[in-house]
């Protein structure tokens, strides 16, 4: 990121989750891939989409009215849809591409849904459900869970249980015994998940420099999992940044309780020192 973008991104990351602009953060991430991207233009595009939804609403709309209008505008009118054919195309994870191409994956379509709803006064939360990402909002007698990847489909408890068993196996007891699976995902964790998706795609394609760039962003947003430091060490080593890799392996050893990975990190340190005398 350039200095100006970095300052903007850092300021955003330091804000409270309730004030965190998920769309802005996702677009700032996209600037890493598209340096000339105008973030504010795309935020205005979301504002315009919200205005289109607003025109479909009457006075004093209910949460269900707003969700229905979003579905009609977001999916039926604009043609936004899940990218089934090229699910692992990295463009599905960059919000500017999602808005331009009208194609995305569950988490990016959910980000758009959350941000449209916020502009319309409806609090929609992300849901890191097994299988793929969903959203939910509150009504007087409970919650409604929607699937933006399937056109904003409303999911019953029976359907959620079916998906749960499909993802985790028929022996899994179901939502009755695991209600935490319907807990909201904080916005910064949503951003971290989006970044991890990107990292996985770039690693699978052996695009190590891009994977490292995304890995740095994951650590920049304050993800405290030592495993992320371990992952960066591996990427740095692949890119022959041996001194930086050594520092990350040591930091991982000092902070992790994962004994298996600690043993790997220790061995990598030994190997790096043995093969790179300049590190002594």
- Would you list the domain boundaries of the chain? 3-182, 187-279
Question: What is the pLDDT, as a whole number, of residue 279?
Answer: 46
Residue 145 has pLDDT above 90, yes or no: yes
156-173: pLDDT as tens digits: 999 999 999 999 998 888
Report the distance separating Cα 139 and Cα 131, nearest Å.
25
215-261: pLDDT as tens digits: 999 999 887 899 999 999 999 999 999 999 999 999 999 999 999 99
Residue 89 has pLDDT above 90, yes or no: yes
What dotted CATH number matches 3-182?
Answer: 3.10.620
Q: How confident is the model at residue 190 (pLDDT cuts 50, 70, 90)?
A: very high
Residue 29 has pLDDT above 90, yes or no: yes
Topology match between the domains 3-182 and 187-279: no
Q: How confident is the model at residue 280 (pLDDT cuts 50, 70, 90)?
A: very low
Q: How confident is the model at residue 17 (pLDDT cuts 50, 70, 90)?
A: confident
What dotted CATH number matches 187-279?
Answer: 1.25.40.10
Overall pTM surpassing 0.85 (yes/no): yes
Mean pLDDT value of segment 258-271: 96
């Amino acid at each position: 990121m350039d200095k100006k973008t970095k300052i903007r991104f850092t300021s955003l990351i330091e804000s409270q989750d309730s004030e965190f602009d998920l769309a802005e953060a996702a677009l700032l991430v996209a600037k890493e891939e598209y340096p000339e991207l105008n973030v504010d233009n795309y935020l205005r595009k979301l504002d315009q989409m919200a205005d289109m939804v607003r025109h479909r609403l009457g006075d004093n709309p209910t949460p269900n009215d707003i969700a229905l209008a979003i579905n009609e505008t977001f999916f039926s009118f604009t043609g936004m849809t899940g990218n089934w054919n090229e699910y692992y195309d990295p463009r599905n994870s960059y919000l500017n591409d999602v808005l331009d191409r009208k194609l995305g994956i569950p988490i990016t379509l959910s980000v758009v849904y959350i941000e449209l709803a916020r502009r319309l006064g409806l609090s929609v939360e992300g849901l890191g459900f097994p299988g793929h990402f969903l959203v939910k909002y509150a009504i007087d007698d409970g919650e409604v869970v929607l699937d933006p990847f399937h056109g904003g489909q409303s999911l019953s408890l029976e359907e959620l249980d079916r998906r749960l068993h499909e993802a985790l196996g028929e022996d899994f007891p179901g939502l009755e015994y695991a209600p935490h699976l319907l807990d909201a995902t904080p916005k910064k964790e949503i951003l971290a998940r989006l970044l991890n998706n990107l990292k996985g795609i770039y690693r699978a394609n052996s695009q190590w420099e891009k994977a490292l760039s995304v890995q740095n962003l994951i650590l920049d947003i304050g993800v405290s999992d030592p495993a992320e430091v371990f992952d960066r060490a591996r990427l740095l080593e692949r890119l022959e940044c041996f001194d930086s890799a050594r520092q990350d392996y040591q930091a991982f050893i000092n902070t992790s309780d994962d004994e298996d990975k600690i043993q790997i990190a220790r061995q990598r340190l030994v190997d790096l020192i043995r093969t790179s005398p300049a590190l002594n």
